[in-house]
Amino acid sequence: MKKISFALLLLFCFTLVAQEEYPKDAFRPPMDIPIILAGTFGELRSNHFHSGIDIKTQQREGIPVISIGDGTITRIKVSLWGYGKVLYIAHQNGYTSVYGHLQKFSPSIEAYIKKLQYDKKSFEVEVFPDFGELKVEKGELIAYSGNTGGSAGPHLHFEIRSSISEKPTNPLLYGIDVADATNPILEKLFVYPLTDKSHVNGNYERTQVNFSRESDGTYLADKVTALGNIGIGFIGFDRLDMAANKNGVYSVELSINGKIYSLYDFESFSFGETRYINTLVDYDYLGRNRQRIQKSFKSAGNNLGIYKELYNNGKIDINQGLSYTAKLLIKDYAGNKTELNIPIEGIKNNDIRSREKETTENYVIANKPNNFDLGSAKVYFPTNTFYEDFYIDLKKGNDTVTIHNNTVPAHRNFTITFDASKYPKEIQKQLFIARLDSKLQPNHTNTYKRGDLFTTRTRNLGTYTIARDSIAPTIRTKNFKEKQWLNNYKYLSVQIADDLSGVDTYSATLNGEWILMEYEPKRRTLTYNFDDKIADQTQCVLKVTVTDNVGNENTLTTSFYRK
């Protein structure tokens, strides 16, 4: 009956949403501090669009987080990475609000989730409470802001999603007031020749074009001479009031002689398409320069649904003897805009710097599966791993293989399989597949072992090797010493680390009874809160066991006193 009732409720919610898009007065802000953003919706991130807004929390943790409306908690998750501690609240108008990177939940929710953690004997848990089991009211305290999960600093990650489609929508659409009186900032302009017969300013390659500010506040680019099919890209950002962060822009429009060729914005997108961000940016330039050029044209493999208008995929056909004016219009959500005009002359240039095509012995056809034998390893790319065909650079080595480089994105996981038969079985237990970083340091990848074959699945091109980890993790007490009296202590802290394959699992007992120790991998700390009231003896024995990703194990046994 619960499932039927919930389905009917969702249908009712869908009707409400269809009747009134983005209600401006239904929700309140999720915090009672000034809403200053460190990140905007749709912002360009590594392999994904930002699915919410990041609200600054005055560089500290523990600020109250409030439910934006009446609703019921439908999901609670505690994880080491991602959103860390996160709450999901379904509201009666068909939307779900999401609150991530929390330090802790409100007392009642904290007690609910801690019971589950002790029942499962696990810090990482995920639960979907029955609909209506955990109701909250608009303005009710639900949590405190933090820095858990993949957060790089204290803030609240906040989302509003459709309860039906689960598509995130821009939270600023719902009337959240964010001060922004600054126009988006344009840093660089690029023009692309898109075919073998196209050229820009006597060049077959991506070409940077200078521009200057006009007296009316618009920008004017230097004249571009071109022929054939070309595209336009830019590097830019938005800056909001009272924040120095370089945030993402809201919309990008390209028009040619007054006709719109491309218009997209970040009103909403689906999680299923977010990795196609790698077709919206110039991934080659990103890999080489660590800056994202945002394209106004649609490249091969681009299945994004963010486009409001699109003509000729945003690509411009330049004919000899004709003049064109391209206008690039960049806006933020508040409506502040930056306008750049680009004069283009269709001129054939016979003195063109030739394009040097990079070729290798191996060629990947994107819409077919591709297998390569690299001696010590084999690589398999499923169909549509990549967005387009290209020459792939593959290098064989002794237990090390290089699979191209970071200038080409992979959309799907591919597999790398090493033959480890030359190693004794005892040593094989300590081996894993690692990806070498720019400093040639090995980073553990999930390694599946089947006999002598070691396999990993990844979407990262680069150099991979077989690495060995024979050293167990380290464990040491952090805020107390052996046999110390801890009467006034609120918590215990232990530091753990594994510098090669990384920490896989840990467990802790106090006087032989399992205890919850919260793991913060960024600080490499395990923390036990004395409020759990398990330390009910004068002399307490703490035992912590940590295992790394290849099975090396270490145990710390220590004692302390407490009344």
Measure Cα distances from 456 to 412, 420, 459 in Å: 13, 13, 10
Let me know if domain 362-468 sits in CATH 3.30.310.50. no
Q: What is the pLDDT of residue 20?
A: 47
- Mean pLDDT, rounded, of the chain: 93
**Selection from 70, 71, 104 nearest residue 86 by Cα:** 104
The pLDDT of 384-395, averaged and rounded, is 96
Architecture of the structural domain at 474-561? Sandwich (2.60)
Residues 15-52 have pLDDT tens digits of: 444 434 899 999 999 999 999 999 999 999 999 999 99
Residue-level pLDDT at 353:
66
How many CA atoms does the CB half-sphere of 324 hold within 13 Å? 26
Model-wide pTM > 0.75: yes
Report the chain's terminal Cα–Cα distance, integer Å: 51
pLDDT over 60 at 522, yes or no: yes
Q: Is residue 280 classed exposed, middle or buried when 0-12, 13-18 and 19+ CB atoms within 10 A define those classes? A: buried
Q: What is the pLDDT of residue 16?
A: 44
* Average pLDDT of span 343-369: 87
The CA distance from 21 to 17, in Å, is 6
Assess contact for 205 and 299: CB atoms under 8 A. no
Cβ pair 435, 443 in contact under 8 A = yes
CA atoms within 13 A on the CB side of 529: 10
Q: Report yes or no: 406 and 462 within 8 Å, Cβ to Cβ.
A: yes
The pLDDT of residue 365 is above 80: yes
For residues 411-426, give the mean pLDDT.
Answer: 96
Q: What are the residue ranges of CATH 2.60.40.1220 in the chain?
A: 474-561
Q: Is the pLDDT of residue 281 over 70?
A: yes
Q: Is 76 left (phi over 0), alpha (psi -120 to 50) or beta?
A: beta
Look at residue 166 in the predicted model and tell me its pLDDT: 94
The alpha carbon torsion through 158, 160, 163, 164 (nearest 10 deg) reads -130
Which single residue is written with the structure tokens 């309860």?
163
Query: Angle CA(133)–CA(134)–CA(135) in degrees, nearest 5?
Result: 110
- Residue given tokens 């080491």 in the structure block: 80
How much is the average pLDDT of 430-454? 95
Topology at the third CATH level for domain 37-174:
Glucose Permease (Domain IIA) (2.70.70)
Percent of the chain, pLDDT > 90?
Answer: 88
- pLDDT value at residue 4: 42
List pLDDT tens digits, range 164-199. 999 999 999 999 999 999 999 999 999 999 998 899
Range(s) within the chain of domains with CATH label 2.70.70.10:
37-174
pLDDT in tens, 248-278: 999 999 999 999 999 999 999 999 999 999 9
DSSP, residue by residue, 287-319: HHHS--PEESSPPTT-----EEEESGGG-EEE-
pLDDT score at 527: 96
pLDDT of residue 164: 92
> Beta strands of 164-288 (E only): which ranges?
168-169, 185-193, 199-200, 207-209, 211-213, 219-221, 224-237, 251-256, 259-265
For the chain, residues classed under CATH 2.60.220.30 are 362-468
